[in-house]
Structure 1
Amino acid sequence: MKTFYKIIHTSSRILWGNREKRILCESLWMKENGHQVAIVAPGDSPLFDKAKQNGLTVYPISFKSLARIGEYGRLKQIFDGEQPFVVNAHGKGDAKLALKAAQTMGVLCRIMSRHNGERVKGTWPNKKIYKTRCHYVFTNSKDTTANLKQTFALSDMHIFSIPDGIALPDGAANQTTKTAARQKLAHILGLETDARFIGVFGKIERQSLSMLCKTVDQLGRRFPYHHLVIAGSSEKQAPMDEKIYPHVHMLPQAEENNARLYPALDCCIYLPDTRNFYQGVPLEVTGAMAGFCPVIGPDAPGIRDVLIDNQTGRV
């Protein structure tokens, strides 16, 4: 007999980054598979709005320092009313309050998810989160798991590496679906239907953008049908003039990390954050692989879990 659970996810950020996309994607999958899911997040966050639009139960909570005393009491009320089997925190900002409230209210399964590979210091507050407040720690890479096990002396039954949920493209990738995806992207960018695409994802520093554009402009003379599409924010669009670099395009934000995007690409290049060597497993890399798009990425911890040179991509 299949068991269904009531699960509450918490998030403190007001960003719409990979962490929030993963929370929403996994929550919708859980709901589709019969579980009851609620999300506790700031009322002005994109995650709150998108979860509500998709029919999930939502509770607005501010995890800011000045509001913590009152919000801690509200979290206990939410957990008391919902009686969840699982409370899953997704960052230090929400874990401090959410896991403490869940522990106080006797929630049977408390989880701390770590979505990136950035090193966590072994401070007393962090020890409370990782060793006392939660029953399990979920990471998305073996490297992160090994580091947290060593830092907090966690047992094998306390911490697990679990791939992050991603949205899969509709239907199996084949030549017909890839052609249709390319033509749709060409239409979005105002290009001819025979255009081909290479995608660039990750952390693209402003000073690197000009060099990237010049390199692609030179390649365009040899491969006139290929275009580079960059998933970036509006701040990165300012220094690039598409009249000067007609083969380079900023991807509309509505299309970033869209599962339908990856089948349109002949190749996906992932650029790491140079300020943080420990990447975890980027959402863009697994999303591209799910869309059967070849991936080129850095030789960095976390990414090594899925990107094996000449087997699953190129390092």
Structure 2
Amino acid sequence: MMMLIGLACLGGGMLAAAVLPLYATVLLALLMAGLGKSCFDPAVQAYVGARVPWARRGLAVGLIEFAWAGSSLIGIPTVGWLIGRFGWHSPFLALGLLAASSVVLLAMLLPRVPVSRDSAPRSVPAGQGWRLLVRRRPALGGLGYSFCFAMANDFLFVIYGAWLELDFRLPLAALGSVSIVIGVAELIAESLTAFLSDRVGLARAVTGGVALTAAAYLLLPVVARTLPLALAALFLVFITFEFTVVSANGLFTELLPDARGTMMGAVGATGSSGRMVGALLGGYVWLWGGLAATGCVAAALSILALLSLRWGLRGWRPPSRMMDIP
């Protein structure tokens, strides 16, 4: 139901902006799109957790996350083409029609998907789910990880454009091509999650991914002496970061199996809070100490995220019939 509500919010907002392309309507459309995404993402992750066996959870989440990379590699250029050919309001119509079509398809197809017997614990009411959330150490550790890891990435994300423009005289128009590098990194990361994380185990994949991401943050200011090296270092940062985030989403679907929707919604909320703090402070850190300070702070926050996760997972095991496959 929450997936349908999220898509309906997106579709309604986009179609309203297409029909009545005024500032207030567009602002409302963007607010509805954000609300819709906040409803849809936790719901689809919880749905996967309830219906896909643990041994294939990473594969399922990784395949779903291909849409994220596709939005960068395909969606952004398509929106640019639509604006150039049909005007700035045309993407709103296209997105609205796509969202409306998705509502119909989900309503028709989702009830036909059987529930996996490996992953169907008794659900609890929403209020009880929040009480469980604050009492379960694995859930609290996951939320601490989500906040710190998202904050670390935004310390870099909000300044990398200005850094490339200042240090390498990269024209502002050329910065759009950097999104292709990031999109390719995300696509590869989601492929790795889909086909590797279940084999090594989701908990081990996330732990290793956080450690590699912290190392990539530290490596970035050391090797970024030329533009190709800088882009390669950014590629490494985003591939390790995205692999870790997507693998963690698969792991988190089982940290609070009685209230998966509550858990995934809380993960999204803490991650958004971390990104907000990182976006607010990232520019100041870069102005104070340059890329070296940004890399060190991001690495330190990533290590803090790892410590929070390991604290939460201490003694945690999935049910024996759902253990990681070798």
TM superposition score normalised by structure 2: 0.22
- Structure with bigger strand share is 1
TM superposition score normalised by structure 1: 0.23
Between the two structures, name the one with larger relative contact order (CA 8 Å, sep ≥ 6): 2
Structure with greater Cα Rg: 1
- Structure with bigger helix share is 2
